Amino acid sequence: MQETEAQKKIQSLRGQLLYHSDKYYNQDNPEISDFEYDAMLRELEELEVQFPQFDDEDSPTHRIIGKVAEQFSPVEHTVPMQSLMDVFSKEELGEFLQKVETALGGVPAFCVEPKIDGLSVALEYENGVFTRGSTRGNGIVGEDVTENLKTVGGIPMKLPDAPTFLEVRGEVYMPTESFLALNAQREAAEESTFANPRNAAAGSLRQLSSEVTRERGLRVFVFNVQQVQGKEFTSHYESLDYLRSCGFAVIDNIAVKTGLDDIYRHIEIIGEARGNTSYEIDGAVVKLNDLSLRETLGTTSKYPKWAAAFKFPAEQKETVIEDIIVQVGRTGVLTPNAVLQPVRLAGTTVSRATLHNIDNIRDKDIRIGDRVIVRKAGEIIPEVVASLPEKRTGAEKIFEMPETCPECGAHTLREEGEAAVRCQGSNCPAQRLRNIIHFASKGAMDIDGLGPAVIELLLEHDLIHDVADLYHLTAEQLVSLERMGEKSADNLLTALEKSKSAGLDRVLCALGIRHIGERGAKLLAMHVPTMEQLMQKSEEALAAIHEIGGIMARSIVNYFADEQNRDLIQRLEEAGVQMHYTGEVVEQKEAFAGKTFVLTGTLEHYKRAEAKKIIEGFGGKVSGSVSKKTDYVLAGAEAGSKLEKAQELGVRVLSEEEFERLCE
């Protein structure tokens, strides 16, 4: 792969991973499976190793993506709640064990335990009394969900013979039976269902009402002592025995093993038991048992060096593709989906599977009528892994993406460099419905009473054509609709009026700009607090905002370049929708806008983190490696290879004094 191509691929993968991390961690609403996410992360890691000049300490490979929701108080974790390094095969597990053995100069014992697919939490006890519980968040700062955790099974409120202080880490999960019952209840109420038990658990634990959480039937398994005062442990297994004696729920099937073969055999035993448990298991965790050896090995910025998570492969079954149908998404993307001969997979009957895009269909040579392998790892919609051409009869048909939209008949287009085929019709019914549903949703304008059924009625009766029309609805129009009485009409109009003051961040999210979710919209609004200012920003200026980056910046500029979109924003503003941010604004200093810095050596007046914060505050970006695209290298004492490379490439090298003058 050429250097330019690699850089573009790295930027693309980072943008996709940030987007999907936000959907998973912050919105509890994933769009792709864990398997797809892990594959993208692994590809990015390999590219960053192959092209170190494009590595960046802000890359998703180096940090946990998560945030604290506004409705909860932040909790700073004294002991970071780190993630785990993933391994996917016996060979990769062997490589991990070999690294540990080499570092320690011996063959240590490991605890091997089932990995629960849930939401990680920290539980704190003072003199035996449960005082605080929090989510992991980004690993450093989480959310205070104490009251909700008091309703979760497996968490004792008081501990017998307790130490002065104890903090433990656990995984909150939703039992399979509770998950199925909850989704059935939501489906009957015409509410969106949860993708899987993990997301159902996360959404339930982060409810504003602890009574709602109580009704969801959550439970917890505790798996680690984070910190303790007044008691000592020498091994992890010993600490788990102690936690059991205190009344905590600790998962079964834990064993202490030594050596690759014995460890892997116990992982297989855990895997064989997956279908017989009342909870989702997505792998096994392998941890050093000796706690002092853990201290010896230490951690990286993201992972402990003494543990790894063995991820189980998704369950696979063979079935037949009876047809391929195309669905038009909210952004106009045409997605092919396979209609399957029903097959039992991962505890549910599967009759549909995503085919992603036409490239995927061609690469796997998938045809209508083929026998295929499908998989599902407790995640969203299943996917087709491979076709079985050796089982063809000759009656199979090659599938082609339609040249016109199946919803509106408009032409479709596949842009260069993209896998997606998009409908070009600005008034496509499929997009219109989904656009308005998204606009009214809780994470966007949060218009209470404007659910999918009501939106469909409004469209069917030709009362609205886009989101701006919502703000011109009258009580007379609404009461004429089926199942819409005067009270319901009045409540909807009140909700619409209230939504006008939602603020710029909610409006940006509601517009459905590609790659811009709740977090991206909030970041934009904090840095560029009015719609007018935002519409005038260049791609370079937007990309300089921390966590926005090139892909999101390009998407924003492209959106505002479209005359129809600008007209829609004008009509919303004329209807009274506020186009400014009402929260705390980050002061804009453009001295370093679009500039990339590299820090090297020991700085006299700043810590690295302080210098980085100053640069980002002035609109700049800090990278971990020097390249031709580096604008400045800030060099302190004992600067090494980065300084030498900067001098070779002719990159300007700054002393601290020169840096401070630029900041004036």
Domain boundaries, the chain: 3-54, 74-311, 315-407, 429-499, 504-574, 596-663
Cβ(42)–Cβ(311) under 8 Å?
Answer: no
Q: Which CATH architecture has domain 74-311?
A: 2-Layer Sandwich (3.30)
pLDDT of residue 68: 43
Is residue 620 very low, low, confident or very high in pLDDT (cuts 50, 70, 90)? confident
In this prediction, residue 367 has a pLDDT band, given cuts at 50, 70 and 90, of very high
With a cut of 80, say whether residue 21 has pLDDT above it: no
Helix, strand, coil share (%) of the chain residues, nearest 5: 40, 20, 40
Q: What is the mean pLDDT of residues 99-110?
A: 95
421 pLDDT more than 80: yes
Catalytic one of 9, 23, 67, 115: 115
Class of residue 620 by CB neighbours under 10 A (exposed 0-12, middle 13-18, buried 19+)? buried
SS3 227: strand
Task: Find which of 61-75, 128-142, 607-621 is predicted with most confidence, using mean pLDDT.
Answer: 128-142
User: What is the share, in percent, of the chain residues with pLDDT greater than 90?
Assistant: 42
Q: Is the pLDDT of residue 617 over 70?
A: no
Q: How many whole angstroms separate alpha carbon 27 and alpha carbon 203?
A: 8
Cα–Cα distance for residue pair 598/600, rounded to 1 Å = 7
Q: In this model, does residue 380 exceed pLDDT 60?
A: no
Provide the CATH topology of domain 3-54. Answer: Helix Hairpins (1.10.287)
In degrees, rounded to 5, the angle at the alpha carbon of residue 97 between the alpha carbons of residues 92 and 103 is 130
pLDDT digit string, tens, across residues 44-71: 888 887 887 787 766 777 655 554 445 6
Reply yes or no on whether the pLDDT at 391 is more than 90. yes
Decide if pLDDT at 507 tops 50.
yes
Give 478's pLDDT tier (boundaries 50, 70, 90). very high
Give the span between the Cα atoms of 571 and 214, in whole angstroms: 44
Across the range 180-205, mean pLDDT stands at 76
> Tokens 């159902």 label which residue?
200
Contact call for residues 609 and 602 (beta carbons, < 8 A): no
- Looking at residue 565, its pLDDT comes to 83
- Coil, strand or helix at 88: coil
Q: Which stretches of 369-483 are assigned E, i.e. beta strand?
A: 371-376, 383-387, 397-398, 412-413, 421-423
Q: What is the CATH number of domain 429-499?
A: 1.10.150.20
The number of residues making up the chain comes to 664
DSSP for residue 592 = T
State yes or no: pLDDT of 527 exceeds 80: yes
Distance from C-alpha of 139 to C-alpha of 77, rounded to nearest angstrom: 7
Q: In the CATH scheme, what is the homologous superfamily, with its name and number, of domain 596-663?
A: BRCT domain (3.40.50.10190)
What percent of the chain is predicted at pLDDT more than 70?
A: 90
What pLDDT, on the 0 to 100 scale, is given for residue 69? 43
For position 468, what pLDDT does the model report? 93
Position 23 scores a pLDDT of 65
- CATH superfamily, domain 504-574, is 5' to 3' exonuclease, C-terminal subdomain (1.10.150.20)
230-245 confidence digits (pLDDT tens): 999 999 999 999 999 9
Listed residue (531, 529, 508) closest to 444, CA to CA:
508
Residue with tokens 């989906």: 337
- In this model, does residue 105 exceed pLDDT 60? yes
150 or 411, higher pLDDT: 150
Higher-scoring residue by pLDDT: 322, 405:
322
pLDDT of residue 574: 95
> Region 28-38: what's the mean pLDDT?
63
Across 153-176, average pLDDT: 92
pLDDT digits (tens, 9 = 90+) for 439-459: 998 889 999 999 888 998 898
Q: Would residue 115 show up in a list of annotated catalytic residues for this protein?
A: yes
Tell me how far CA of residue 200 lies from CA of 36, 118, 231, in angstroms: 20, 9, 36
Q: What is the pTM of this model?
A: 0.50
Answer yes or no: are the C-beta atoms of 280 and 171 closer than 8 Å.
no
How far is Cα 500 from Cα 121, in angstroms, rounded to an integer?
Answer: 36
What b-and-e string marks burial along 318-348, b requiring 16 or more CB atoms within 10 Å of the CB? ebbbeebebebebbbbbbbbbebeebebbee
Q: What are phi and psi of 641, to 5 degrees?
A: -65, -30
- Whether 556 and 504 have beta carbons less than 8 Å apart is answered as no
Q: Mean pLDDT: which of 41-55, 262-276, 418-432, 576-590 is highest?
A: 262-276
Burial 138-176 (b: 16+ CB within 10 A, else e): bbebbbbbbebbebbebbbeebeebbebbbbbbbbbbbe
Lowest mean pLDDT of 110-119, 122-131, 203-212, 505-514, name the range. Answer: 203-212
pLDDT computed for residue 364 by the predictor: 93
The greatest distance separating any two alpha carbons of the chain, rounded to the nearest whole angstrom, comes to 80
Residue 410 has pLDDT above 80, yes or no: no
- Domain 315-407, classified CATH 2.40.50.140, yes or no: yes
Instruction: Say which residue, 655 or 426, is predicted with more confidence.
Output: 655
* Pairwise pLDDT comparison (24 vs 464), residue with the higher score: 464
Q: What rounded mean pLDDT belongs to the chain?
A: 85
Q: What is the pLDDT averaged over residues 397-414?
A: 86
pLDDT of 29: 59
Complete edge-to-edge strand list for the sheet that includes strand 652-654: 621-623, 596-600, 632-635, 652-654
Q: How far apart are CA 316 and CA 116, in angstroms?
A: 20
Give the Cα separation of 40 and 30 in Å (integer): 15
In this predicted structure, what is the pLDDT of residue 535? 92
pLDDT attached to residue 366: 96
Mean pLDDT for 389-397 is: 95
pLDDT at 27: 58
Per-residue confidence (pLDDT) for residue 240, from 0 to 100: 96
- Indicate the pLDDT class of residue 339, thresholds 50, 70 and 90: very high
pLDDT at 205 over 90: no
The token duo for 99 is: 């690294």
Fold match between domain 429-499 and domain 504-574: yes
Is residue 111 within 8 A of residue 289, CB to CB? The reply is yes
What pLDDT, on a 0 to 100 scale, did the predictor assign at position 38? 72
Query: 405: which residues sit within 8 A by CB, 6+ positions away?
Result: 328, 334, 411, 412, 423, 424, 425, 428, 430
3-state secondary structure of 609: helix
CA R_g for the chain = 27
Distance CA 566, CA 472 (A): 19
